[in-house]
Chain A
Amino acid sequence: MQRIWYMAKRYPLIFPALIIILFWFFIATFGPSLMPFSYTAMDMDHQMTAPGVGEHLMGTDSLGRDIWSRIVYGSRSILTIALLTSLFSSLAGVILGFTAGYFGGRIDALFLRVMDIMMAIPPLVLSMVVLGVLGNSNILTLTLIVSIAYTPATARVARGTLLSCKNIEYVDAARLRGESHLYIMFREILPNTMGPIIVEITARFAYSIMMVASLGFLGVGLQPPTPDWGMMVIENKTIIKAAPWAVLYPSLAIASLVIAVSVFSDFLSKVVIRDQ
């Protein structure tokens, strides 16, 4: 605790980052019940009104929908998907990477080749194609597909941290008392690799936000009328001159969250690395 505080003082960016992250989580949890407008309500008298005019905090879009309300609702889906994705891809990555790294030899070689093939296709393209084929995406399919697209990267990190621990003598000591492979992998080794893995989960969280926003922007994310930050940017692209706020605010929402999570992840990695 003491050292986290000490590190935080040397890395003051962490404070605004934490505030932003907490802000978005608060908004996603309680925001919708506090909103004056529904995210689908069209205020026909106030189309493309500027921020602050009437009761629209961030203005409205071409259909007269309240931008702020849509951002608040959109934060729910993006946070849910990103959180689940980072957890699922890390979980799958740890299982795959650990198995490959621990047993080595042919299993490892096969694993590496499969991962190479998967990594040759950019995750965004992979997700886009799969989602495009499936059509009609929802939170479940999005989570699943983005998780799979990110698994090779997390699996490599997991494998790397396992390899750095695998030849330390406490593993030999466990073998010499006849422990099973599962016990050695997940009870002896896993706790010692938790640092880098937690850093990986948070970094993955930031990537996932970007990915979900990008998919929304490309039109293969959540389907309208469900509000989605990426989709809001593309929807309002045509009115960017008349109502720039309709593009600006969703973009700012994406940027603030991604940057804040990245800073947080960076800070964690500093704490973890210095600790070892």
Chain B
Amino acid sequence: MTNKPILDIHNLNVVYETPSGPIVAIRDLALELNANEALGIIGESGCGKSTLSYAILDYLPSNARRSGSIMFNGEDLLLKTEKEMQNYRGDRIAMVYQNPYSALNPSLTIGEQLDEVTRIHRGFSRTQARKESIQSLQDLSLGEAEGIVRRYPHQVSGGIQQRICIAMALLCQPDIMILDEPTTALDVTTEASILDIIGELKERHRMSLIYISHDIGIVNKISDRIAVMYRGEIVELGPQEELFNHPKHPYTRALINCMPRAGVKKETTRLNTIPGYVTRRSADERGCPFASRCEKKNAVCEEKYGLREIESGHLAACDRAYATDVPDKSTFAPLIPKANARPGADQTDNASSGIEPGIGPAPLLELHEVYKYYKNRKRTVRALDGINAKIEKHDVLGLVGESGCGKSTMGHLVAGLLEPTKGNIHFDGKDISLTWKHRSRDTIRDIQLVFQNPGRSLNPSFSVEQILDRPIKKMLKIRSRRERRAVMINLLKKVDLGEEYLSRPSTRLSGGEKQRIAVARAFVTSPRLIVCDEPTSALDVSVQASVLNLLGELQEQSHTSYLFISHDLNVVNYISDHILVMYLGRVCEYGLRDEVVNPPYHPYTEALLSAAPDVNPSHKQKPIRLEGAPPDPSAQIVGCPFAGRCHKKIDGLCDTTPPPLKRLSETHYIFCHLSEDRLRGVAHL
């Protein structure tokens, strides 16, 4: 490692000119990147992480202005002309974007796009270029590279697309690779294997990485040093382990603490939240960027407090960084215990004894052999392939699985947006395998849905009042305006919002506020079941924490049941009483939360658990890498759907015979050929 940094940013300011005045996206930023170093940048959305990476490449929108200096190997990139910059982009500094699908050209084959890079930047001939492209794909452990180069981007999975983007960035042998949330659009298992690859490549090609993410767990996995950004400033910068073990800035602490992580459950803890949300910064604002949301704010915070070195290489922009009244090991301790913690034994009471009907108290919702096929002329997609499930009264069933496993389809079937192809759904004894059109008024009132993206589920032309008023009028049949208003104010209070929100247009709310309104709308009818379809995955971590807290509290107060759908096992683990793991339209494992997340577990559950990014820096265990993508859902599967990717597969059995149901306890089921001992097998962690 050379002493001289490869990238040295000084006093960088980026200002956007907008109709409502200039907005400071990056302010007085200083940052060094050493050779062969991986620098992670974390922060919530709107903190200027992406703007920073675009500023380095001079790839900002036309209304942005840059000032300061960005020294790359001793040359200032800010002084380069557009033409000169072209020699840097791609060649010296490469970038990988968040969404590989939109980064690749859909009308060119993968090979053509890869070849182009070496032909333009390195002057290769066609055959030379193709050879190099295939080699680069093989370096990324993509088998069958010759086949892939002939395909179009839409013919390969998202994980492979992202590997192709990385291969493309590598083809120019850049000195720096900037990765802007490269795994956010991918499944956890794919994410884990991509992160592995990035780590390997860095060592092999001896290049520097800038890894941007909102997910602390991921940054933790990949970086040597971490910079925490907030509202355009770096508030803390330090070596990875040091920063996680001894975070100094209140924002870093808050960010680390609000992630739900393994072992954190709703019965015992509330998630830590950061009050407020990221706001835009005007040009004349002074002082610590985090002051308005900081709990430990004092007079000093109103003044500018620059980055100072606390320990060697560890910098923080907070006067409190030296304070002794803040416990040092705060990272893993200050989860707020709940006053009225529900004892763990409580749950086993309402867990009935079997999937078979007629035993124990009748569950609220039951799915019997539910199939949902989507047919078109060419093929039949088996979204749900014989699902049995149930939800008890006053119980949360967490539904996890990768994208495309049918979890949203199941949610939509229960909510009544879709109709099952085959099978029955029983709600409180009534058959509700019908769409909304044919459901009774009571059923419609009793089952509500909270959507993933509140920006899309709330009508952008309506005010909060209009959004809440209509369901109250329509479903509660309250005629008097004054009464309806009282109901609305009460609902807003439930979701911790004030009366003043009624008159606001829904587009003027932050993501978290929107989702609160959506939750309030779902609670209008005091439903007995709410289907939560990834309600927090479109939100920032700090907002996710507060929405999860809210959902947990409301569930407890109102005795509602949830069908909680998420791809994030940590989130499901936090909120659920029971967990159902799905793969390719089938159930892998079902049981009480603690039974599912602890061994013995289905190999797929094991893989999901090991892929989930962990915020504990000392856990750097090698994840179980799932090779390939889930099989084509239109193919007829004979054996276990997971057999093709399973690390514990029994050859000749798993891919020919459907897995039997193994009952491990009264409440715990696994569909797998493996013996219980084998399932217990390698323990997680």
Contacts and interface: CB of A to CB of B under 8 A. Distances in A.
Nearest to B470: A177
Query: Which 8 pairs of residues, A with B, have the shortest CB-CB distance?
Result: A191-B461, A6-B19, A169-B457, A170-B459, A3-B19, A169-B451, A169-B456, A168-B456
A172 B20 contact: no
Interface in A186-201: 188, 191-192, 194
Given A2-B19, A3-B19, A169-B453, A177 B460 contact: no
Contacts of B457: 169-170, 172-173
B136 interface: no
Interface string B420-444: 0000000000000000100001001
Contacts of B475: 177-178
A178 B448 CA distance: 12
B469 to A, nearest CB: 12
B528 interface: no
B502 to A, nearest CB: 18
A176 interface: yes
A179 interface: yes
Interface string A208-230: 00000000000000000000000
B417 A172 contact: yes
Given A2-B20, A168-B456, A170-B457, A176 B449 contact: yes
A168 B20 CA distance: 29
Interface string A1-34: 0110011000000000000000000000000000
B49 to A, nearest CB: 25
Given A2-B19, A2-B20, A191-B461, A176 B456 contact: no
B451 A178 contact: no
A176 B417 contact: yes
23 contacts: A2-B20, A169-B451, A169-B452, A170-B458, A172-B417, A173-B451, A173-B521, A176-B415, A176-B416, A176-B417, A176-B436, A176-B448, A177-B444, A177-B470, A177-B474, A177-B475, A178-B436, A178-B441, A178-B444, A191-B459, A191-B461, A191-B462, A192-B460
A192 B505 CA distance: 13
A170 B417 contact: no
A178 B443 CA distance: 11
Contacts of B458: 170
A237 interface: no
A161 to B, nearest CB: 13
Given A177-B474, A179-B474, 11 more contacts: A3-B19, A7-B19, A169-B453, A170-B459, A172-B417, A172-B451, A173-B449, A173-B521, A177-B470, A178-B444, A192-B461
Interface of B: 19-20, 415-417, 436, 441, 444, 448-449, 451-453, 456-462, 470-471, 474-475, 521
Q: Which of A7, A177, A191 gathers most chain B CB within 10 Å? A: A177
Nearest to A276: B460
Interface of A is mostly: helix
Contacts of B415: 176
A57 B436 CA distance: 70
Q: Which of A6, A7, A173 gathers most chain B CB within 10 Å? A: A173
Contacts of A175: 417, 436
A140 B22 CA distance: 52
Q: Which of A175, A192, A194 gathers most chain B CB within 10 Å? A: A175
B475 to A, nearest CB: 6
Contacts of B436: 175-176, 178
Size band of the interface chain A makes with B: 10 to 19
Contacts of B521: 173
B219 to A, nearest CB: 31
A78 B449 CA distance: 53
A3 B458 CA distance: 24
A192 B461 CA distance: 6
A188 B459 contact: yes
Nearest to A167: B456
Contacts of A191: 459, 461-462
Contacts of A188: 459
Given A169-B451, A172-B451, A192-B461, A177 B456 contact: no
A28 to B, nearest CB: 33
A125 B521 CA distance: 53
Contacts, number: 53
A69 B675 CA distance: 99
B533 to A, nearest CB: 9
B652 to A, nearest CB: 45
Nearest to B533: A169
Given A172-B451, A175-B436, A178-B444, A192 B19 contact: no
A234 to B, nearest CB: 47
Contacts of B20: 2-3
A177 B474 CA distance: 8
Contacts of A172: 417, 449, 451, 457
Nearest to B471: A177
B451 A176 contact: no
A159 B585 CA distance: 35
A156 to B, nearest CB: 22
B565 to A, nearest CB: 14
Nearest to B531: A176
Nearest to B21: A2
Contact of B456 (A2, A7, A170): A170
A2 B19 CA distance: 7
A192 B456 CA distance: 12
B474 A178 contact: yes
Contacts of A170: 456-460
Given A169-B456, A192-B461, A176 B19 contact: no
A102 to B, nearest CB: 14
B192 to A, nearest CB: 30
A131 to B, nearest CB: 40
Contacts of A178: 436, 441, 444, 474-475
Contacts of A194: 461
A176 B457 CA distance: 12
Interface in A152-186: 168-170, 172-173, 175-179
Contacts of B456: 168-170
Contacts of A3: 19-20
Interface in A243-272: none
A3 B451 CA distance: 31
Q: Which of A2, A3, A172 gathers most chain B CB within 10 Å? A: A172
Nearest to B17: A6
A202 to B, nearest CB: 20
Contacts of A173: 449, 451, 457, 521
B456 to A, nearest CB: 5
A178 B449 CA distance: 13
Nearest to B417: A172
A10 to B, nearest CB: 10
Nearest to B440: A178
A21 B379 CA distance: 57
Nearest to B521: A173
Contacts of A177: 444, 470-471, 474-475
B199 to A, nearest CB: 38
B521 to A, nearest CB: 7
Contacts of B417: 172, 175-176
A96 to B, nearest CB: 22
Q: Which of B19, B453, B460 gathers most chain A CB within 10 Å? A: B19
Nearest to A194: B461
A169 B475 CA distance: 19
Contacts of A6: 19
